[in-house]
């Protein structure tokens, strides 16, 4: 017995000493922490300067720094909690997490300063991170980014000696703009319009009857329709022809995005990495098929885009393919091109989920539904098939896009409020060679400056809070004048409504996204009556869902659906 006692006494004495040391350490840490807190709260920002260092957010543990552990279980509630690094008393803070320095900022004026400073920023670190972690682009291919010091602006940086063909950051940015904000936009849009019109007509003619019938999940139904049509517009029919399961793997990939971004090793998440291998293989197979079949005589005719073709889908992918192959010494091989192209294809996922949420909000509110329906009924042009076409039984879907964009205040407000409520995105910038000016502060170059759309969109001081900010209320964007006329307005919301970011790196897909969401919504409302019967949906906002853009719906929305009774 005694023999058993001795070690346990020794252990107790040891533990006693350990405890004593720990107490000492904790006291020391506490004193240091209090001193930092005092310094932080006492720092007065002289408003005559513009060159101040941002206040340092005090932290308790030397190595962890301000690592917000509660983020792990509920990121959104941590982010909106008034006592954390995202919401503290100072709108610009310097935080240290695991020895990394970050600058967090919030407030409309600071976001506007950040957007203004975008032209002096470099994105290379973030692009490389996303391409390698999420999309699996090889380190060899990404080394082209390390060698490109010419910047993303039209004129290369004066010290840079990079050859024009190797200006990867600038060239990729330019090709995105050509497709989404330049000559590529209308053909892309026309192909989307053509496909979604036919898909929804076929749903009307073949799948949905005149009597109520149940559907297990409305979000799933819409996701499928919209994803198919966007893929067709962007990549042509070849992607689904060569890989009929692409959509399934794509949605699986999307669900797991944060798993890849967090650098989870493959053996802890084999299914997630399997989904990624499958989508990447699909893109490679499609591009092989496009290389084999494309000739300059296979281009589309007319509005579908005479520079585009059914094999590559858009000239965007065909030209990017040549552009990447011509860089460096062939570091960007076919696999690397496929993974970067997939990164671009993935970027459309925000507009898919946004369409689902928009329709969900309208269909579950009968008053809103009838207001929006009466607005869109004024936007119909005569149906081209109305005279003698065989489709005279199905409703007119020939909406005038400009009218939808400009003359439907409530529809616009639903769109804007959906993006306000559901977009959770980190906007990140980094000064390239010179510091970033966020008056009165100056932030040193090569440090990440981060703002979160969620913080901006839930800022009590910026928004009309007649209804709580966690509630969907399109009225936030509507103004009624003296004669009772309702207008859509985002006046005074610059820097507060920021679902697309801002400045020179603002989302180039926003024009397509807005058209796509408004038009698809108008068509659905004109074709179908939908009633929500089982509302079991929530935003995917745990650690694995938060921060990737417009939230993904989880759970389901059981509905009854039928052909619209009073269709016009």
Ligand X SMILES: *[C@@H]1O[C@H](CO)[C@@H](O)[C@H](O)[C@H]1NC(C)=O
Sequence ranges of the binding site for heme:
507
State how far the Cα of 110 lies from the Cα of 498, in Å rounded to an integer: 12
Name residue 561's beta-bridge partners: 213, 530
The secondary structure of 432-444 as a DSSP string is: SSS-EEETTEEE-
Residue 293 in the binding site for ligand X (CB under 6 A):
yes
Cβ–Cβ < 8 Å for 377, 404? no
The 173-212 site mask, x for binding ligand HEM (CB under 6 A), equals x--x---x--------------------------------
Residue 170 in the binding site for ligand HEM (CB under 6 A):
no
Residue 379 in the binding site for ligand HEM (CB under 6 A):
no
Q: Determine the interface stretch with ligand X among 285-293, 324-332, 450-458, 488-496 (rule: CB under 6 A).
A: 285-293
SS3 assignment, position 188 = helix
Q: Which of 538, 516, 528, 540 is nearest to 565 (CA)?
A: 528
What phi and psi, each to the nearest 5 degrees, are found at residue 295?
-140, 165
Alpha helices in 313-365 (DSSP H): 315-325, 334-346, 349-363
Rounded least distance, CB 547 to ligand HEM, Å:
11
Residues 407-426 that bind ligand X (CB under 6 A): none
Ranked by CB distance to ligand HEM, the top (closest) residue is: 501
State how far the Cα of 207 lies from the Cα of 180, in Å rounded to an integer: 33
Distances in Å between the alpha carbon of 141 and those of 44, 166, 245, 338? 47, 12, 28, 12
Rounded least distance, CB 246 to ligand X, Å:
9
Q: Which helix or strand (DSSP H or E) is residue 487 part of?
A: strand 486-488
Residue 423 in the binding site for ligand HEM (CB under 6 A):
yes
Place of tokens 């079991």: 536
Instruction: Kindly provide the residue ranges of all beta strands, DSSP E only, lying in 85-181, ordered along the sequence.
Output: 92-97, 100-105
Nearby residues of 4 by Cβ (< 8 Å), 6 or more positions away: none
Q: Which of 226, 513, 530, 541 binds ligand HEM (CB under 6 A)?
A: 513
Place of tokens 């749903």: 203
Displacement of CA 273 from its chain's centroid (Å): 21
Rounded least distance, CB 291 to ligand X, Å:
8
State how far the Cα of 142 lies from the Cα of 285, in Å rounded to an integer: 22
Residue 55 contact partner, candidates ligand HEM, ligand X, none, CB within 5 to 8 A by sort of partner? none
Residue 229 in the binding site for ligand X (CB under 6 A):
yes
State how far the Cα of 540 lies from the Cα of 370, in Å rounded to an integer: 29
Q: Determine the interface stretch with ligand HEM among 157-165, 246-254, 366-374, 508-516 (rule: CB under 6 A).
A: 508-516
Displacement of CA 129 from its chain's centroid (Å): 16
The separation between the first and the last C-alpha atoms of the chain, rounded to the nearest angstrom, is: 92
Residue 42 in the binding site for ligand X (CB under 6 A):
no
State how far the Cα of 55 lies from the Cα of 441, in Å rounded to an integer: 9
Q: Determine the interface stretch with ligand HEM among 159-167, 314-322, 495-503, 555-563 (rule: CB under 6 A).
A: 495-503
Name residue 131's beta-bridge partners: none
Task: Report how many residues bind ligand X under the rule CB under 6 A.
Answer: 16
The 98-137 site mask, x for binding ligand HEM (CB under 6 A), equals -------------------------x--------------
Q: Which of 122, 242, 351, 521 binds ligand HEM (CB under 6 A)?
A: 351
The secondary structure of 89-148 as a DSSP string is: SSSEEEEEETTEEEEEE-SHHHHHHHHHGGGGB--HHHHHHHHHHTT---HHHHHHHHH-
Rounded least distance, CB 115 to ligand X, Å:
27
Q: Which of 118, 199, 259, 353 binds ligand X (CB under 6 A)?
A: 199
Residue 500 contact partner, candidates ligand X, ligand HEM, none, CB within 5 to 8 A by sort of partner? ligand HEM
Residue 289 in the binding site for ligand X (CB under 6 A):
yes
Nearer to ligand X, 124 or 226 (CB): 226
Nearer to ligand X, 84 or 225 (CB): 225
Q: Which two tokens stand for residue 20?
A: 């004593």
Residue 394 in the binding site for ligand HEM (CB under 6 A):
no
Cβ–Cβ < 8 Å for 374, 437? no
Rounded least distance, CB 427 to ligand HEM, Å:
5
Residue 425 in the binding site for ligand HEM (CB under 6 A):
yes
Residue 340 contact partner, candidates ligand X, ligand HEM, none, CB within 5 to 8 A by sort of partner? none
Residue 50 in the binding site for ligand X (CB under 6 A):
no
Q: Which of 458, 381, 468 is nearest to 423 (CA)?
A: 458
Residue 549 in the binding site for ligand HEM (CB under 6 A):
yes
Q: Determine the interface stretch with ligand X among 104-112, 286-294, 378-386, 482-490 (rule: CB under 6 A).
A: 286-294
Rounded least distance, CB 247 to ligand X, Å:
9
Residue 507 contact partner, candidates ligand X, ligand HEM, none, CB within 5 to 8 A by sort of partner? ligand HEM
Distances in Å between the alpha carbon of 102 and those of 113, 114, 260, 500? 17, 14, 22, 22
Edge-to-edge strand order for the sheet containing 213-215? 213-215, 553-563, 528-539
Q: Which of 29, 203, 240, 369 binds ligand X (CB under 6 A)?
A: 240
The 34-73 site mask, x for binding ligand HEM (CB under 6 A), equals ----------------------------------------
Could you give the dihedral angle defined by the CA atoms of residues 29, 31, 35 and 38, in that order, rounded to the nearest 10 degrees?
A: 110
Q: Which residues of the chain form contacts with ligand HEM (CB under 6 A)?
A: 123, 173, 176, 180, 344, 347-348, 350-351, 354, 419, 423, 425, 427, 499-502, 505-509, 512-513, 549-550
Q: Which residues of the chain form contacts with ligand X (CB under 6 A)?
A: 46, 48-49, 195, 198-199, 202, 228-229, 231-232, 237, 240, 289, 292-293
């Amino acid at each position: 017995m005694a023999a058993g006692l001795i070690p346990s006494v020794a252990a107790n004495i040891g533990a006693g000493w350990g405890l004593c040391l720990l107490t000492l350490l904790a006291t020391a840490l506490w004193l240091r922490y209090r001193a930092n807190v005092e310094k932080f709260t006492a720092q007065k920002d002289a408003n005559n300067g513009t060159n101040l260092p941002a206040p340092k957010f005090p932290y308790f543990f030397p190595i962890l720094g301000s690592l917000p552990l509660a983020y792990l279980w509920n990121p959104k509630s941590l982010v909106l909690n008034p006592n954390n690094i995202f919401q503290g008393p100072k709108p610009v803070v310097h935080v240290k997490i695991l020895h990394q320095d970050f600058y967090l900022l919030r407030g409309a004026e600071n976001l506007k300063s950040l957007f203004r400073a975008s032209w002096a920023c470099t994105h290379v670190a973030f692009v490389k991170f996303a391409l390698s972690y999420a999309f699996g682009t090889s380190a060899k291919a990404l080394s082209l980014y390390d060698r490109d010091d010419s910047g993303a602006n039209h004129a290369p940086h004066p010290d840079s000696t990079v050859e024009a063909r190797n200006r990867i950051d600038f060239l990729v940015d330019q090709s995105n703009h050509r497709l989404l904000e330049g000559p590529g936009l209308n053909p892309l849009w026309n192909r989307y319009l053509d496909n979604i019109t036919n898909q929804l007509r076929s749903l009307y003619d073949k799948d949905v009857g005149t009597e109520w019938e149940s559907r297990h999940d409305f979000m799933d139904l819409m996701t499928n329709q919209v994803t198919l049509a966007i893929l067709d517009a962007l990549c042509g029919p070849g992607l689904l022809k060569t890989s009929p399961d692409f959509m399934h793997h794509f949605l699986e990939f999307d669900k797991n995005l944060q798993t890849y971004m967090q650098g989870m090793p493959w053996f802890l998440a084999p299914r997630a990495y399997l989904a990624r291998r499958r989508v990447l293989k699909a893109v490679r197979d499609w591009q092989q098929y496009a290389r084999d079949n494309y000739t300059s005589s296979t281009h589309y005719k007319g509005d579908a885009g005479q520079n585009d073709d059914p094999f590559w889908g858009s000239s965007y992918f065909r030209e990017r393919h040549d552009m990447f192959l011509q860089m460096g010494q062939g570091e960007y091989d076919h696999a690397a091109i496929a993974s970067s192209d997939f990164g671009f294809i993935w970027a459309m996922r925000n507009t898919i989920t946004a369409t689902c949420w928009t329709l969900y909000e309208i269909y579950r509110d009968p008053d809103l539904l009838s207001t929006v329906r009466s607005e869109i009924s004024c936007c119909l042009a005569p149906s081209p098939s109305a005279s003698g076409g065989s489709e005279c039984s199905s409703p007119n879907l020939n909406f005038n896009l400009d009218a939808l964009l400009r003359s439907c205040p409530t529809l616009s407000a639903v769109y804007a409020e959906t993006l306000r409520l559901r977009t959770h995105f980190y906007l990140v910038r980094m000064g390239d060679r010179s510091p970033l000016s966020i008056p009165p502060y100056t932030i040193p170059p090569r440090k990440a400056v981060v703002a979160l759309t969620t913080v901006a969109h839930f800022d009590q001081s910026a928004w009309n809070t007649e209804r709580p900010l966690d509630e969907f209320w399109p009225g936030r964007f509507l103004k009624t004048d003296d004669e009772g006329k309702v207008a859509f307005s985002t006046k005074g919301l610059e820097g507060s409504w920021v679902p697309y970011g801002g400045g020179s790196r603002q989302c180039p897909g926003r024009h397509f996204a807005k058209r796509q969401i408004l038009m698809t919504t108008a068509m659905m409302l004109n074709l179908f009556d939908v009633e929500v019967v089982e509302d079991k949906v929530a935003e995917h906002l745990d650690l694995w869902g938060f921060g990737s853009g417009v939230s993904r719906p989880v759970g389901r929305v059981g509905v009854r659906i039928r052909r619209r009774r009073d269709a016009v």
